[in-house]
Amino acid sequence: MHELGRLEDLPEEYRAALTELNLVPLWPSLRAVLPPGKPAIRTRPTAWPYRTLRPLLLKAGELTPMEKAERRVLVMANPGHGLEKMQATSTIYLGMQLLLPGEWAPAHRHTPNAVRMIVEGEGAYTTVDGEKCPMQRGDLILTPTGLWHEHGHDGDQPVVWLDVLDLPTVFYLETSYVTGGNPQEVADQGMDQRYQRGGIVPAPVFVRSDQPFPMLRYPWADVRKALLALAESQPGIEAVQVAYVNPETGGECQKILGFSALMLRPGECLTLPARSTAMVFHVIEGATKVEQDDHAFPLAEADTCCTQGYAPVTLTNLSAAQPSFIFIADDAPLQKKLGLYEVRL
């Protein structure tokens, strides 16, 4: 491609006249917004080890009471986007949230979609749209756009979870806001118990929900069992991976971000092809090395990292005896809706 004209090539009085009318010439900046062959990527591969994050999160519990925080979270920010932007990738917000025994995080609802991946502790719960969802390690709990939700803790040890939100996208669209509310009445429980087997859902004439999010809690015990069964029944399968989906439609469980769980067999090394999506990896069990270009992150349980798009990622189980289990988030659902999703083999 030929070289384009520069802004400084234009006369100063001409530039001043454009500025006065809120006009900008395109050609000096065209390559910045439409680079040839590959996007300009700001997301940097970055890791957040839990062993270093956890003491700071517990210290936040000492320094800031819940009534001063509303949500006590340490945001995992990507240096490529600037720490003040609070973005792990261009479309994904990550935060590690702490709830101490006896605390209650008040009810609110907001336009960004959120999920909670439980990292540590027992005895806490999230109430979403009237359904009380117990929080156990490895569980995935949805708090979709517009639904009231609150967090409570009846146990005796700290509970920590990973927040994953599409906040950067919703904020960029100038549609991000929150509404406060009163404690919810628990009207229904056990929605996850209605969807126990793939291919079987409640009969629509009598039971099927008309809600866009019929299942709010995905227990890790069930997901782990599904991964082990898949590995056993299909030993030659390239990747032992399951997606978190809407059990009534088979589509993604939320509209903007996608979520899955991956099992690496003992000693397994798996290379994911270059895709247009950045990805978040969180280790639920085991130890996994994540590599992209010249970055290598050996992750232990509860560690989290992100990778950029348009470059392959290699995952290696660091144990030769035990499987490792990884939670993955990306923005593939949004990219597919927009016609932007790519896989480069």
- Domains of the chain, each with CATH number or no CATH: 42-344 (2.60.120.10)
Query: What pLDDT does 192 receive?
Result: 64
pLDDT band at 189 (very low <50, low <70, confident <90, very high): low
| 27-47: pLDDT as tens digits | 999 999 999 999 999 999 999
Nearest to 91 by CA among 331, 329, 259: 331
Type of residue at 139 = D
Which residue did the predictor score with more confidence, 195 or 103? 103
For the chain, give the mean pLDDT.
Answer: 94
Question: Of all residues in the chain, what percent carry a pLDDT higher than 90?
Answer: 87
Structure tokens at 209: 């929900």
Query: What pLDDT does 198 receive?
Result: 72
Q: Quote the longest CA-to-CA distance of the chain.
A: 73
Q: Picking from 50-64, 194-208, 234-248, which range would have the lowest pLDDT averaged per residue?
A: 194-208
Structure tokens at 203: 């009969």
Rounded CA-CA distance 28/102 in Å is 58
Query: What pLDDT does 2 receive?
Result: 77
| 251-309: pLDDT as tens digits | 999 999 999 999 999 999 999 999 999 999 999 999 999 999 999 999 999 999 999 99
> Alpha helices, DSSP H only, in 206-327?
220-233
| 131-181: pLDDT as tens digits | 999 999 999 999 999 999 999 999 999 999 999 999 999 999 999 999 998
User: What burial class does residue 320 get, using C-beta atoms within 10 Å of its C-beta: 0-12 exposed, 13-18 middle, 19+ buried?
Assistant: exposed
Residue 153 CB neighbour total at 10 angstroms? 23
Report pTM: 0.95
Rounded CA-CA distance 57/62 in Å is 9
